Amino acid sequence: MQRCLITGCAGFIGSHLAERLLAEGWSVYGTARRQRRNLERLGGRLNVRECDMLDSARVEALVAEARPDAVFHLAAQSSVPNSWRQPELTFRVNVFGTLNLLEALRRAAPAATTVVVTSSAVYGPTHDHELPIRESRELRPSSPYGVSKTAADMLARLYGQAYGLKVMRARPFFVTGPRKLGDVCSDFCRGAVEIENGKRQSLDVGNLEAVRDFVDVRDAVEALRLLAAEGQPGEAYNICSGTGTRVSDLLSMVTGAARIPIPVHPDPERYRPLDDPITVGDRSRLSALGWEPRLPIEQTVVDTLEFWRRQALTAVAGGAP
């Protein structure tokens, strides 16, 4: 039986990944803090450990306990808006948390294959001639979150070079889908469901002109699995669809799939200090390993709407939202 460690396993991508690997018969260890609602469906089959990634001794003890064949590092402060409000916390969690894991792997599991999940935010603003974004493109992040993920990305590369760790860097673009909190697709879908249920009057929106490369979380999970099995240590891999979707078109998909008309209200407070106008990735390096996205954004929208409708029904019935 293969063994793995997923940091941040209670999060959006982590919970989907844990569910997928358990279905394949893996022995899965995971770190979690506070909220574990996403893991309830797994019925205790997951070895969950409370772990603050800033506690280096605890991280090393967990790595030694898990004895992983593969490690997926997903624990992070992953909100761009929050990184502007809490830059120090963002750096501590994303940079020092990654450093503590790499140090623990060096000492306790040097043979493990490790996928450090960073972000497409490492790229920052992109000129037209640089599209689609390749892994070799210069890193020039435009948010505290992006800078923190750039540092984590570079640390992962450095530790692979210096200590021979089998580390790959995954750079997901806009991963979305059921269970996601706080991104534009989830916010649109959640707001539309609240309007359907009479909980609010209109959907507040920010910059609708941005173009984003959305990828369904279930496709992203397959990419992470493939990287652990077939990826080349030392390399970086974009996880993206390779297709850009304008946020206004995403909004149209959501309102078109809603059960009632959805009034839309522009909200200047939702604009970021810096907002990259176009972010579309090149997926050829990952696709060369055999990965292709299966779920179009239209299906992701439908599934995300249904997720929020189920959450609303659960809340009405008196359960956890």
Chain-centroid distance, C-alpha 316:
29
How much is the pLDDT for 321?
A: 45
Q: What average pLDDT score do residues 283-305 get?
A: 98
What's the token pair of residue 236? Answer: 């970086």
Give the CB-side neighbour count of residue 101, counting CA atoms within 13 A.
36
Comparing 246 with 207, the larger pLDDT belongs to 246
Q: How confident is the model over 59-108, as pLDDT tens digits?
A: 999 999 999 999 999 999 999 889 999 999 999 999 999 999 999 999 99
What's the token pair of residue 67? Answer: 């004895």
Spell out the domains of the chain, with CATH numbers in brackets: 3-176+215-239 (3.40.50.720), 184-211+243-279+295-316 (3.90.25.10)
- Other beta carbons within 10 angstroms of residue 23's beta carbon come to 10
Q: How confident is the model over 125-159, as pLDDT tens digits?
A: 999 999 999 999 999 999 999 999 999 999 999 99
Distance CA 95, CA 99 (A): 6
84: exposed, middle or buried (Cβ count in 10 Å: 0-12, 13-18, 19+): middle
Q: How confident is the model over 215-249, as pLDDT tens digits?
A: 999 999 999 999 999 999 999 999 999 999 999 99
